[in-house]
């Protein structure tokens, strides 16, 4: 199978880099019109793999509305992965004390989360009657089982090791999630950064088991109060706090939009994946992302 995949990749025409001079020469030859003839695969498709993407929608029913449900779910999966990519970069930057550099991926992550939230609009038409036309065909399939969403939660510091159990028979996915739990979250790296920048944090907080969810600590809250008391223009930690707050807000909006979508499409029925559905989602929202960043505002 691996050799087949390698041969397929080798047979796929690669995107050929061009220089600004080559682009200008091509435009001159074309008289300003777009190129219409290519020796191999269209370069856009070679880069984006659009022809592959559009084969991945395989509805289980003849209901026309199911395509919206399926494709919006896939769009959200892509946004989960993109946001994880940005948060990992920010985490790496903070671990290396590159606070200014971390602001850019955090800003991008916020914008990606805005796109993720906008995706819910594509399902606002769906009523319980609409969902019921194909819901039974999904079996036990549930968004709860999204491995990339778990990766996103783990990066944000929401860590519950038991939630990787559904993937035990998907060994690669399980191993990736297990490995993610062994690495400090973005918030763990923020707390470590505060300690390195002179804030009085206990050693046991900085050396704790990162696989377990971080519990709010009064010293971390006090550190953020101190950070925000400094109104200087070069207070990069304050700018970091603002960037993190934007990420947390957008993620919180996504969770709330999820609750509203469930209310709209299935009310308080039990979930497809075995949970209590709406009630389970509402309880999960009590777990706060970057908790001391918010509690510190009461003490400011």
Closest to 293 measured CA to CA, from 156, 111, 95: 156
Cα angle, residue 228 at apex, residues 295 and 287 outer, rounded to 5°: 25
Closest to 265 measured CA to CA, from 66, 96, 6: 66
pTM for the full model?
0.90
Known binding residues are 135, 258
> Which pLDDT value is given to residue 141?
83
Known binding residues for heme are 258
Q: Kindly write down the DSSP assignment for every residue of 238-286, as one continuous string.
A: HHHHHHHHHHHHHHHHHHHHHHHHHHHHHTTPPPTTSS-THHHHHHHTT
Residue spans per domain, the chain: 2-53, 67-299
Please tell me the number of Cα atoms within 13 Å of 217 on its side-chain side: 19
Residues with Cβ within 8 Å of 118's Cβ and at least 6 positions away in sequence, in order, are: none
In this prediction, the residues of the chain whose per-residue pLDDT falls under 70 are 1-13, 270-277, 280-281
Residues with Cβ within 8 Å of 62's Cβ and at least 6 positions away in sequence, in order, are: none
How many Å is the Cα radius of gyration of the chain? Answer: 23
| Token code pair at residue 4 | 């087949």
- Fold of the 67-299 domain: Methane Monooxygenase Hydroxylase; Chain G, domain 1 (1.20.58)
Return the sign of the alpha-carbon dihedral for residues 40, 46, 50, 51. positive
Known binding residues for substrate are 135
């Amino acid at each position: 199978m691996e050799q087949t995949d390698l041969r397929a990749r080798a047979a796929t025409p690669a995107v050929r880099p061009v220089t600004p001079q080559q682009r200008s020469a091509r435009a001159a030859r074309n008289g300003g019109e777009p190129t219409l003839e290519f020796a191999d695969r269209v370069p856009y498709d070679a880069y984006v793999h659009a022809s592959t993407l559009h084969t991945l929608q395989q509805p289980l029913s003849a209901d026309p509305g199911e395509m919206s449900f399926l494709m919006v779910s896939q769009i959200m999966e892509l946004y989960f992965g993109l946001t994880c990519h940005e948060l990992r970069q920010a985490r790496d930057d903070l671990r290396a004390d590159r606070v200014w550099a971390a602001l850019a991926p955090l800003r991008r992550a916020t914008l990606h989360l805005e796109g993720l939230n906008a995706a819910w609009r594509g399902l606002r038409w769906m009523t319980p009657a609409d969902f019921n036309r194909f819901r039974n065909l999904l079996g036990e399939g549930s968004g709860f089982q999204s491995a990339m969403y778990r990766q996103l939660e783990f990066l944000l510091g929401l860590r519950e090791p038991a939630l990787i159990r559904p993937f035990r028979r998907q060994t690669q996915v399980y191993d990736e999630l297990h490995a993610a739990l062994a690495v400090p979250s973005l918030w763990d790296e923020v707390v470590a950064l505060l300690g390195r920048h002179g804030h009085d944090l206990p050693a046991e907080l900085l050396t704790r088991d990162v696989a377990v969810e971080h519990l709010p600590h009064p010293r971390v809250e006090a550190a953020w109060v101190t950070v925000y008391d400094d109104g200087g223009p070069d207070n990069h930690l304050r700018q970091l706090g603002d960037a993190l707050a934007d990420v947390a807000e957008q993620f919180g909006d996504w969770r709330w939009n999820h609750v509203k979508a469930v209310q709209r499409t299935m009310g308080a029925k039990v979930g497809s994946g075995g949970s209590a559905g709406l009630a389970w989602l509402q309880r999960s929202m009590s777990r706060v992302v970057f908790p001391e960043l918010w509690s510190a505002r009461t003490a400011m």
